Structure 1
Amino acid sequence: MYRYDEFDHAFVSARVEQFRDLVTRRLSGEIAEDAFRPLRLMNGVYLQLHAYMLRVAIPYGTLNSKQMRMLAHIARRYDRGYGHFTTRQNIQYNWPKLSDTPDILKELASVEMHAIQTSGNCIRNVTADHFAGAAADEVADPRPYAEILRQWSSVHPEFSFLPRKFKIAVTGAPRDRAAIQVHDIGLHLKRNDAGELGFAVYVGGGQGRTPLVAKLIRDFLPEEDLLTYVTAIVRVYNLHGRRDNKYKARIKILVHETGVEEVTRQVEAEFQQIRESELKLPEGDIRAIETYFAPPALPDRADGWEALARAKKADGAFAAWAAQNVQPHRHPDYGMVTISLKPIGGTPGDASDVQMEVVADVAERLAFDEIRVSHEQNLILPHVALGDLYAVYQALEASGLATANAGLITDIIACPGLDYCALANARSIPVAQEISTCFGSPERQAEIGELKIKISGCINACGHHHVGHIGLLGVEKKGAELYQITLGGSGDENTSIGEIIGRGFEPERVTDAIETIVDTYLGLRLEPKETFIDAYRRVGPKPFKEALYGQTAEAA
């Protein structure tokens, strides 16, 4: 992973002291809240429903045990003993005191972490595939390019006050695990017929009030042109993006209303003007950044297969966890472990200070000191020897971190909702907890198979409900909470936006509605291996509408 140089250390430390001064002036009344708001947002501090919230950046979701222990320390000393991992691969603290935030940022800086550009109308934390550098299907590790983009975009003088927030995601495998087509810019690392590395470039994706799938505007961009082309895109957006209406300010609206052909023409024209500028990446610089992300030296561990087989035979719960939460590694003697932050009946994405320290200890002892945060609100150990899986499982199981549900119906993405967020119309957490409890039986989950439920408490879609196989959107109607259901969404390489299935459901009826949808799917799938999303795409919404609303489904 990337290590700070002298400039990074000096820059982050100076930013902490600058923010300390701003907080002191705000608390003394010298700065009013209206003037303070944009300044705190640029440093990751929000004012939520009940308290301030601090969002800490975890660039491309990669951190080590020392950093994880610091996150645990922050939760214990300055919050209420937990943190919330987000769909942007960051962590949020929901209860810090404003007066403590400069000290929090100073402690974070001591382990090369910060909260810069986790909010505001700027380029946010660049995200990447959580299996990067380890996945068997990977063309190349996308994180060096995410780091190049992070360095380029940090406090960029031209792009610090864009029309609206701006999000970039990078993936390096045929299977898109970074949801690049619902980002402002999505970059798909690939090789051309000559074997050269480059990117397919997608622009104009996003969720929220107007969900749109990004458009492919370049099938192959040479890696040396990464910064020049991204600069061209953001310049076109900065020039033409609307600033008079925040609901129409994202680049997706510009692409939709101007047309992808015209936007592409303008991007290409700008690109040609700056292509040979100082932004052109020398191959030596790219390779130098890559050295920070060199995979650990993984010794052959062929004996691990036998040890794994013995452990599976002796412990059925471990066997189920290994089957569901461990994915193939590029090295045959290793696996990639998903640590589920979705215990049955728990709050999706939350981890206690004790749990964070357990993950740090396990990573340091048994996983080459590397941890990832996934956009699905789980943690990842990307390099674990098969022979060490049982020891990892035992350590996690003792701390409530061994739920065997990665990718299953209880692996629910949910935003904080009305329990915390001032923007929310409805609660997300209690709904997720009830659905999780209802479907918590391992046998029931295994019968259903892969099914992604995603819940948002408002139209801003922080829970990514638009791309859930089953999506739930909390809305307010006549002062009461109501949940609108969408079906058929997906955030992978076959991205689709879910279809609204009909009228909404009251909180007490949501779980029954999900059960009806699941039972309908089980009754119509052609074989046990046909997933929910495949079955839905085959039959369409009609049988689900009829099951939920009766024969008047079309009218609904």
Structure 2
Amino acid sequence: MYRYDSIDQQIINERVAQYRGQIERNLAGTLSTDELRPLRLQNGLYIQRHGPMLRIAIPYGMLAATQLRKLAEISRRYDRSVGHFTTRQNMQLNWPKFEETPEILGELASVEMHAVQTSGNCIRNITSDQFAGVAPDELTDPRPYCEVLRQWSTFHPEFAFLPRKFKIAVNAAAEDRAVIRAHDVGLEVVISEAGEIGLKVFVGGGLGRTPVIGKVVREYLPRRHLLSYLDAVLRVYNRHGRRDNMYKARIKILVNALGVEEFARQVEEEWSHLKDGPTTLTDAEFDRIARHFSPPGYDNLPEEDLSFAAHLKDDKAFASWVKRSVHAHKVPGYAAITLSLKAPGVAPGDITDVQMEAVADLAERFSFGELRITHEQNVVLSDVRKRDLYEVWKIARTNALATPNIGLLTDMICCPGGDLCALANARSVPIADAVNKKFDDLDYLYDIGDVSLNISGCMNSCGHHHVANIGILGVDKNNEEWYQITVGGQQGNTTTIGKVIGPSFYAVEVPLVIEALINVYIEQRTPEERFIDTFHRLGVEPFKLRAYAGRDKRRSPNSATKTEANDVTTKVANA
């Protein structure tokens, strides 16, 4: 993984010192709260419903075991011994003390970490495939591209105050696991007819209040022009993006307003002044970055391991975990594994300090001291020998990290929601808990098969509900929490926005509605169909009819139901 040089370290150390001075001046009363606001946001510090929240950068989801140990230590010393992994592969601390945040940033700097550009109207954390570098279906390793983009975008003077936040994702695999089409800019590594590596560029994707799938603005961009072309894209956005209305400020609104052809024309015109200039990405510079991602010292192993095969045969629980959590690796004898952060009764994406230490141990013992954070809020060990999988599973299970539900209904993406976030209209975590309790039979989950369910507490869509097979969105109706349901969303190469099935539901109704939707699938599927395939064949209407069938009998909207709904959404918060 990438390691800081002296320049990287100096920049981060100086930023910590600068931020420390800003906080000290604010506490002394010489820097007002309004003056501090943009400065603290530049360092990932929000003020949420109950107090500060600090978002820590994890570039393209890569962590060293030593860094995860530091996060565990920080969570114990400065928080409540828990961290939350986000869909942007970052970590959030939800209970730090305001006056202690400079100390936290100092601790992070000691292990080559920071919180820079995790907030504000700037280029945010670059995200990518959690299996980057080991996936059998990838064209090349996308991490050098991500690191090039990280270095280019960090403290970029032109793009520190964009009309709105800006998100970039990179994919180099046959299957898009980075959801590049739902980003402001999505980059797909491709090969030209001449056999040269370049990039296909999508612009104008995004979720939130107006979900949009990104559009192709360039089918092929030579690698050497990556940075100058993105400079051009961002200059056009910076020049024309709306600054009078934050709800219309994202680049997706601009691309839609201009039309993709006109937007692309303006980018090409701007690029003509930048092409082959100082930002040209030379092969020498790219290779310098790429060397940080050289393969580790893999053993020469057979493709199959006899002990692994024996454990698969003899231990049903292990075999179930392998089926959902173990993934193919490009090197014979190795596998990548996903450690689930979706155990029943736990907020999706939350990880305790004890679990962080356990994962760090596993990474050091079995995966060359590295790990990855996934878009789905889980953790990946990317380089595990097959003969070690049984031992890894036993340790993971002891630490509640081996729930065998990866890709199943209870492997939910979920934002913190109204329990913590000041922007949320409704709580998310209690809904996740209620769905988990409704579908607590693993055999039934395995029978249902692959289906994604995402939950967002507001239209900002931090839970990416739009691109889930079943999406849940918290909405506010007369100061009451309701939940809107979408069906038919999808990630991957055919990223699709889900369809709203109709009026929203009380919290207590949501698990029953999910059950109704699943029942349509089970009754109507053909043997080879996943949930999304059945939806595409049938359309939304059968799902909609079943969701609302018998609603009056099931839960009539009266005061008793409201009380019960409130009980559902508060019991987790009060636990």
Report the AA paired with residue 380 of structure 1: V
Unaligned runs of 5+ in 1: none
State the 1:241 CA deviation: 0.3
The RMSD of aligned alpha carbons is 1.1
Structure 1 segments (4+ residues) deviating >3 Å: none
Partner of residue 122, structure 2 = 122
State the 1:281 CA deviation: 0.8
Q: Does the CA contact (< 8 Å) of 1:191 and 1:198 recur in 2?
A: yes
Pairing 1:54–2:54 present: yes
Query: Which runs of structure 2 are paired with 1:294-373 in the superposition (5 Å)?
Result: 294-302=294-302, 305-373=305-373
Partner of residue 533, structure 1 = 532
Query: Which runs of structure 2 are paired with 1:132-281 in the superposition (5 Å)?
Result: 132-281=132-281
Partner of residue 547, structure 2 = 548
Q: Does the CA contact (< 8 Å) of 2:118 and 2:124 recur in 1?
A: yes
The Cα offsets for residues 376-429 of structure 1, whole Å up to 9 and x where unpaired, read as 100000111111101111111111101011111000000000000000010000
| Secondary structure, aligned partner of 1:446 | helix
Partner of residue 283, structure 2 = 283
State the 1:551 CA deviation: 10
The Cα offsets for residues 92-120 of structure 1, whole Å up to 9 and x where unpaired, read as 00000011111100010000000000000
Query: Which runs of structure 2 are paired with 1:432-443 in the superposition (5 Å)?
Result: 432-443=432-443
State the 1:303 CA deviation: 8.0
Partner of residue 479, structure 2 = 479
| Secondary structure, aligned partner of 2:272 | helix
Q: Does the CA contact (< 8 Å) of 1:72 and 1:353 recur in 2?
A: yes
Q: How many residues align?
A: 551
Distance 1:442 1:155 in 2: 47
Partner of residue 404, structure 1 = 404
Query: Which runs of structure 2 are paired with 1:71-150 in the superposition (5 Å)?
Result: 71-150=71-150
| Secondary structure, aligned partner of 2:494 | coil
Distance 1:414 1:54 in 2: 18
The Cα offsets for residues 116-168 of structure 1, whole Å up to 9 and x where unpaired, read as 00000000000111100000100011110110011011011110000000000
Q: Does the CA contact (< 8 Å) of 2:61 and 2:374 recur in 1?
A: yes
Query: Which runs of structure 2 are paired with 1:61-72 in the superposition (5 Å)?
Result: 61-72=61-72
The Cα offsets for residues 76-104 of structure 1, whole Å up to 9 and x where unpaired, read as 11000100000000000000001111110
Partner of residue 566, structure 2 = none
Report the AA paired with residue 360 of structure 2: A
Q: Does the CA contact (< 8 Å) of 1:76 and 1:353 recur in 2?
A: yes
Q: 1:65/1:304 Cα in 2 relative to 1: closer, same or farther (>3 Å)?
A: farther
Partner of residue 415, structure 1 = 415
State the 1:501 CA deviation: 0.4
Distance 2:118 2:150 in 1: 12
| Secondary structure, aligned partner of 1:297 | coil
Distance 1:342 1:401 in 2: 8
| Secondary structure, aligned partner of 1:296 | coil
Q: Does the CA contact (< 8 Å) of 1:63 and 1:372 recur in 2?
A: yes
Q: Does the CA contact (< 8 Å) of 2:86 and 2:377 recur in 1?
A: yes
The Cα offsets for residues 459-500 of structure 1, whole Å up to 9 and x where unpaired, read as 000000010110000001112110000011112110110100
| Secondary structure, aligned partner of 1:431 | helix
State the 1:439 CA deviation: 1.2
Partner of residue 556, structure 2 = none
Distance 1:303 1:511 in 2: 43
Distance 1:549 1:399 in 2: 40
State the 1:549 CA deviation: 2.1
Q: Does the CA contact (< 8 Å) of 1:173 and 1:190 recur in 2?
A: no
In the superposition, the TM-score normalised over structure 1's length comes to 0.98
Partner of residue 503, structure 1 = 503
Partner of residue 570, structure 2 = none
Q: Does the CA contact (< 8 Å) of 2:303 and 2:332 recur in 1?
A: no
Report the AA paired with residue 466 of structure 1: H
Distance 2:302 2:396 in 1: 24
State the 1:332 CA deviation: 2.6
Identity %: 52
Distance 1:303 1:167 in 2: 38
Distance 1:295 1:318 in 2: 28
| Secondary structure, aligned partner of 1:344 | coil
The Cα offsets for residues 21-42 of structure 1, whole Å up to 9 and x where unpaired, read as 1111111222221111111000
Query: Which runs of structure 2 are paired with 1:383-394 in the superposition (5 Å)?
Result: 383-394=383-394
The Cα offsets for residues 332-375 of structure 1, whole Å up to 9 and x where unpaired, read as 31111001100023210000000000000000011111100011
Report the AA paired with residue 196 of structure 1: E
| Secondary structure, aligned partner of 2:519 | helix
| Secondary structure, aligned partner of 1:274 | coil
Q: Does the CA contact (< 8 Å) of 1:303 and 1:387 recur in 2?
A: no
Unaligned runs of 5+ in 2: 552-575
